[in-house]
Amino acid sequence: MEAAQRVHKGLEGVYVLESSLCLIDTEHGKLYYVGYDVEELAEKSSYEEVSYLLLNGRLPRRSEFEAFLTKLRSEMELTPEEKRDVQYAAKRTGPMDALAAFYLFASKDPPQAKDQMEHAIKAVAKAGSVLGNTIRVQRGEEPIESQPELGIAGNLIYLVTSKRPEQYQVEFLDDILILHAEHGVPASTFGAVVTASTLSDVYSSIVTGLMTLKGPLHGGAAEAAYYQFVEIGDPDRVESWLERTLAEKRRVMGFGHRVYKIYDPRAKYVKAMAARAAELAGGRVKTLYEIAVRLEQAAIEKLSSRGLFPNVDFWTPIVYTAIGIPPGYFTAVFAVSRVVGWVAHVLEYWKDNRLIRPLHLYTGPEPGQRYVPIEARG
Ligand SMILES: CC(C)(COP(=O)(O)OP(=O)(O)OC[C@H]1O[C@@H](n2cnc3c(N)ncnc32)[C@H](O)[C@@H]1OP(=O)(O)O)[C@@H](O)C(=O)NCCC(=O)NCCS
C-alpha cells in the first residue's frame, strides 16, 4: 500500500482543521480556550462570558457583554410552540433525542435568513431551557417559564428542582458548563463540522453533534461512573471491587482519556468542587465522594503507570447529584454546555469553508462482476 493510501483508522493522529478555539496541552495537563486557562475561566468567569469568548474569539467589553446577555436572556424563554415541541419529544424519546428534536424543529425556519450569529446565540440560550423542561415532562410535570435572570446554569437548576437554587449550586453548575464548553474536535464536534461543511445550517450541525455525543464511547461516562460508585456502595468495599473489576478486564469508569495521559485538568478542578459539594450537601453526596476518593487512590496505584488517571467524568456525578440532576441526564447537561463549542467551530469553519469529503480505500471484489438474474442464482 502506498503511503498516500494509508487509512488512518479512527482518524487518530490526523489534523482535520485549523482552529483558534482551544489548546489541549497534554504534556502539562492544561486546557486553554482562545489562550485563557479554563481553570481561571471557571474560577472567575461565567458560562455566558465564555460563550461570548468562544463565539467571538475574544472577551467582551462591558457594553458588548451587556448587549450579548440581553439577547441571550431574551431567547432563554421557550415560546408556547417550542414548549409544545419539547413536550411532544420528551414524551417519546430520551433526553439527548429530545434536545436533538428541538434543534431539528428549529431548523425548519429558513436558517440563512438571519445573521448566523443570531442563530448561534439562540441555540446556546435555548439548550438549558429545553433540557430543564424535558426533565420535567419526563417526570410527569408540566413545562414552566424560564427565569433568565438566574443565568443559564441557575435557570436549568430552577427548572429541574422547581426551586430557586442555592448560590453554591449555581456556581457549581456554571463551572461545569464552562469546563465542558469546548474540547477541540472530538467525534461530536467533527460531526457538527462535517454537517456544516455542506453549508447546512447551525441547528442541523447541533443535531449531528448531539447524536454523535450520545454514543457511550463519547458522552455517557459520568453516568456510568455514578452507577459504579452506587455499585460499590461503601468506601470499605472499594479495594475488593477494584480487584474484581480489573481481574474481569472491566474498566474503571471515569478513568483514562484518548488525549490526556496525565491528570485531566478539568478533573482536578471538579474534584475540588466535589469535595465542597460533599461538605455542603452531606448525606448521599458525601458517601459518593468518599467512595470516589478511595477509588481514585486505589485505581491510580494500579493504573497510573499505563497513563490512566481520572478524567472529568469521574468527579462530575458527585457535583451533579448535589445540584439535583438525575443520573440519566448527565450526558444531556454536558451537551447543553457543548452546544456553544459546536456552534463556535461551525462559525469558525465557515470563514474558510471546504466541503469535507474524505476517500475510502476499496477492498471489495474485482470490478466487472457479472450480474446473474435472481432466478438463476439458486
Ligand atoms: C476513554 C477511553 C475510551 C480512552 O481509550 P483509548 O485511548 O482508546 O485506550 P484503549 O481503549 O485503547 O485502552 C488502552 C489500554 O488501557 C486500558 N484501559 C483504558 N481505560 C481503562 C480504564 N478506564 N480502566 C481500566 N483499564 C483501562 C485498556 O484496557 C487497554 O489495555 P490493554 O492495552 O491491556 O488492552 C478509555 O480510557 C475508557 O474506556 N475509559 C473509561 C470510560 C471513560 O471514562 N470515558 C470518558 C472519556 S472522557
In the chain, what are the domain boundaries? 18-217+328-350, 221-323
Residue with the smallest CA separation from ligand 1 atom 8 is 258
Confidence (pTM)? 0.94
* Rounded-to-integer distance, Cα 52 and Cα 34, Å: 11
Residue with the smallest CA separation from ligand 1 atom 44 is 254
Question: 221-323 is classed in which CATH architecture?
Answer: Orthogonal Bundle (1.10)
Across the range 149-173, mean pLDDT stands at 96
Q: Taking 80 as the threshold, does the pLDDT of residue 53 lie above it? A: yes
* Rounded-to-integer distance, Cα 341 and Cα 74, Å: 21
Across the range 218-245, mean pLDDT stands at 95
> In 3-state terms, what secondary structure has residue 33?
strand
Q: What is the largest CA-CA distance in the chain?
A: 77
What integer pLDDT is reported at residue 216 of this predicted model?
81
Cβ(31)–Cβ(354) below 8 Å? no
Instruction: Write the DSSP string, 233-252.
Output: -SGGGHHHHHHHHHHTTPPP
* Rounded-to-integer distance, Cα 349 and Cα 193, Å: 7
Of 218-222, 277-281, 366-370, the poorest mean pLDDT is in 218-222
The cell for 74 is 431574551
Q: How confident is the model at residue 192 (pLDDT cuts 50, 70, 90)?
A: very high
Question: 18-217+328-350 is classed in which CATH architecture?
Answer: Orthogonal Bundle (1.10)
What integer pLDDT is reported at residue 378 of this predicted model?
87
Q: 251 alpha carbon to ligand 1 midpoint, in Å?
A: 7
- Ligand 1 atom with the smallest distance to the CA of 258 is 7
Q: How confident is the model at residue 113 (pLDDT cuts 50, 70, 90)?
A: low
- Orientation angle between helical segments 330-350 and 116-138, nearest 10 degrees: 170
Q: 304 alpha carbon to ligand 1 midpoint, in Å?
A: 12
User: How would you classify the pairing of strands 36-37 and 22-25?
Assistant: unpaired
Pocket of ligand 1, candidates 308, 316, 330: which has the most ligand atoms within 8 Å of its Cβ, to mutate? 308
Across the range 207-232, mean pLDDT stands at 93
What integer pLDDT is reported at residue 52 of this predicted model?
98
Q: How many CB atoms are located within 10 Å of the residue 316 CB?
A: 30
pLDDT tens-digit series, residues 265-297: 999 999 999 999 999 999 999 999 999 999 999
Phi-psi label, residue 221: left if phi above 0, alpha if psi -120 to 50, beta otherwise? alpha
Q: Which residues belong to the active site?
A: 257, 313
Residue with the smallest CA separation from ligand 1 atom 35 is 249
Q: Is the dihedral angle over the CA atoms 48, 49, 52, 54 positive or is it negative? A: negative
> In 3-state terms, what secondary structure has residue 191?
helix
Q: How many CB atoms are located within 10 Å of the residue 300 CB?
A: 16
Q: Taking 70 as the threshold, does the pLDDT of residue 362 lie above it? A: yes
Residue with the smallest CA separation from ligand 1 atom 24 is 251
Q: How confident is the model at residue 111 (pLDDT cuts 50, 70, 90)?
A: low
What integer pLDDT is reported at residue 107 of this predicted model?
78
Pocket of ligand 1, candidates 26, 228, 257: which has the most ligand atoms within 8 Å of its Cβ, to mutate? 257
Q: 214 alpha carbon to ligand 1 midpoint, in Å?
A: 18
Nearest to 97 by CA among 142, 146, 131: 131
Cβ(342)–Cβ(205) below 8 Å? yes
Cβ(230)–Cβ(123) below 8 Å? no
- Ligand 1 binding site (Cβ under 6 Å of any ligand atom): 217, 221, 251-258, 303, 306, 308, 311, 313
